[in-house]
Amino acid sequence: MNTKTVLITGCSSGFGLEMVNRFLEFDWTVVATLRNASSRQSIFDEQKKKYGSRLKVLNLDVTSSDDRANAVRCVLEEFDGKLDCLVNNAGYGLFGSLEDISEKQLREQMEVNFFAAALITRAFLPALRLARGRIINLSSVFGFSGFPLTSAYCASKFAVEGLTESLRIELAPYGIQVSSVEPGGHRTRFSEQVIWGESSFSESSTYLIPTRGYNSFKAKLSRGANPAKPDAVAKSVVKLAESHRMPARVVCGKDAILMSFFRHRPLGSRIAESLISLIYRKRFIGGVLSKGKLL
C-alpha cells in the first residue's frame, strides 16, 4: 500500500520531533530533516526500529541552497516526483530590543524563519502540485500579535503569516492547500534556544532593565505551571494534513487562543495592546516611562 509522504523541517526536537512520531503513527512516510543529520541519527533510533523504511532522515540546513536542492532531488527520485505534504517547522527566536540586535542577527532571523520557508516551499511546488498536496507553516502567537523585546522574531512570523495567506489563494486553483499553525507557549526547548541581541545585557544598553525583567519573567514562567506538551501541536498538524479541507489557520494553546480572541474582535486589539503594555511596564520595567526615560 502506498502511503502519503510528508517532509518536515527542523526535526531534532520539540514540535518537529513530535510531528515525526505522530505522522508515523498515522501511516505516513516521513522525511525528517535536520542539520548535521549524519552525526545525529541516534535521535531517531526508536522510530527506525518501529517503522523501518517509512522514516527517511535527511540532512537539511534550511539556509543552504545546496541542501535545499539535494532535498528536492531526493524526494523526486524516491517518491516519483510527488510530495503530499510540506511542513515548514524549522526556526528559532531572536529576542531583545531592536537597538541591541545587530544587523547580522536581524538578517539571520529573517533568513531562517522566513526566507528559508519561502524558498523551500518554492522548490517543492512542482512536487506538491503533482500530488495536489498540502503546505503547513509553523507560525506563532507572535505571528499575529506583536510583543516588546521580540520585534525581530515577531516580524519573521508576521512574514510567514503573509506568505501563508497569499499562497493559500494563489495555489488553490492548482489543488494545493495552505495553512498556518499558531502555537502559544508549549513544553519545548524554544526558550532555552532563544538568542538575545548582541548588546541586550550590556551595561550600556538603554533597554537593560526591561531586558533583565523579561528574562526573569520568562524564567518564572518556565518554573511555574507547565505549559502544554508539544504533541498537542503535532496532533493539530497531522489533523490538518489529513483533513479534507484545511482552514486558513489553527491556534494552539490557551495563551494563543486568548490572544487570538482579543486580536480578531472589535476593540480587541486595543485591549490586547493595553494588556501587553501593562506587562511590559510592570513586569519588565517595574516602573514608569516619562519622556522616554526610565524613572
Q: What residues are labeled active site? A: 153
Confidence of residue 155 (pLDDT cuts 50, 70, 90): very high
Instruction: Tell me what the mean pLDDT of segment 24-34 comes to.
Output: 97
Confidence of residue 289 (pLDDT cuts 50, 70, 90): very low
C-alpha cell of residue 226: 507547565
pLDDT score of 185: 64
pLDDT score of 268: 56
pLDDT above 50: residue 290: no
Confidence of residue 284 (pLDDT cuts 50, 70, 90): confident
SS (H, E, C) the chain: CCCCEEEECCCCCHHHHHHHHHHHHCCCEEEEEECCHHHCHHHHHHHHHHHHHHEEEEECCCCCHHHHHHHHHHHHHHCCCCCCEEEECCCCCEECCHHHCCHHHHHHHHHHHHHHHHHHHHHHHHHHHHHCCEEEEECCHHHCCCCCCCHHHHHHHHHHHHHHHHHHHHHHHHCCEEEEEEECCECCCCCCCCEECCCCCCCCCCCHHHHHHHHHHHHHHHHCCCCECCHHHHHHHHHHHHCCCCCCEEEECHHHHHHHHHHCCCCHHHHHHHHHHHHHHHHHHCCCEECCEEC
**Tens-place pLDDT, residues 201-245:** 999 999 999 999 888 877 666 555 555 677 889 999 999 999 999
Q: What is the CA radius of gyration of the chain?
A: 20
Mean per-residue pLDDT of the chain? 87
**Tens-place pLDDT, residues 106-122:** 999 999 999 999 999 99
Model-level pTM? 0.87
CA 225 to mean position of chain CA atoms: 23
Query: Hey, what domains does the chain have and what are their CATH numbers?
Result: 5-294 (3.40.50.720)
Q: What's the Cα-to-Cα distance from 201 to each of 105, 154, 214, rounded to whole Å?
A: 15, 20, 12
